[in-house]
Copies of this chain bind each other. A is one copy, B any other.
């Protein structure tokens, strides 16, 4: 808010804030100041995700009907971090909620979330969970399922797939090399890239180039603070759904 007041261009990592109220106040401050403000949803700039989106928008698989998102970290952060993270939905799934909105170009009407703590009891003691299963219905009746975990022994698992009326587009994991080893046991390839710094290296570079482009050339940013607010709304609704064990309707 100070940056907006000072008329500075803003690059803000997710989430905009841990409370929806303050996030909305930030959005208003940005709008009032008329400054450039970009949210760090770097996944939209990932070469694979971006290519999929482009092909989907070009009609390659017709109308999208279902979106399945798999989003798993290689390991959980320290519990001290988790305690101040806002919970798994605001900390981790906020990216997946943005993927839902970006890929389907649609808004949620209801969300149903559940989760468990299966990897470390200390996470449960901190009031959080480490794996979740979320279902979102969109205005146009499309269905989205998101599954996440704080632990995937095989690395950073970042996939999604869109089922459309004429086919399916899948975004697969990236891996460090294309070596294939065939032995007496199996035929094996590299694990996925280890974590977000490796997987989204190209995305981060493209993202920040876009921000500079927006600032210098007055181009509209592709990930606005409104996108950040919308994703946070979904994160709050998912948290509520999980806590109260019920489907939550979203205001229109």
> Is A118 in the interface zone, CB < 8 Å from B?
yes
Instruction: Among A51, A149, A188, find the residue whose CB has the most chain B CB atoms closer than 10 A.
Output: A188
Set of chain B residues within 8 Å of A183, measured between Cβ atoms:
60-61, 153-154, 166-168, 191
Tell whether, in the assembled complex, residue A166 and residue B179 are in contact, meaning their CB atoms are under 8 Å apart: no
Residue on B nearest A167 in the bound complex, by CB: B183
Check: A85 CB closer than 8 A to any chain B CB. Answer: no
Do A167 and B147 touch (CB < 8 A)? no
In the complex, chain B residues whose CB is within 8 Å of the CB of A35: none
With an 8 A cutoff between CB atoms, is A181 at the interface?
yes
B180 touches A191 (CB 8 A): no
Q: Is the CB of B112 within 8 A of A176?
A: no
Chosen A-B contacts, 7 in total, with CB atoms closer than 8 Å, are: A55-B181, A114-B143, A118-B141, A133-B135, A169-B179, A187-B188, A246-B247
Interfacial residues, chain A to chain B (CB-CB below 8 A) = 47-48, 51-52, 55, 60-63, 65-66, 68, 70, 72, 110, 112, 114-119, 131-133, 135, 137, 141-145, 147, 149, 151-155, 157, 163-192, 245-247
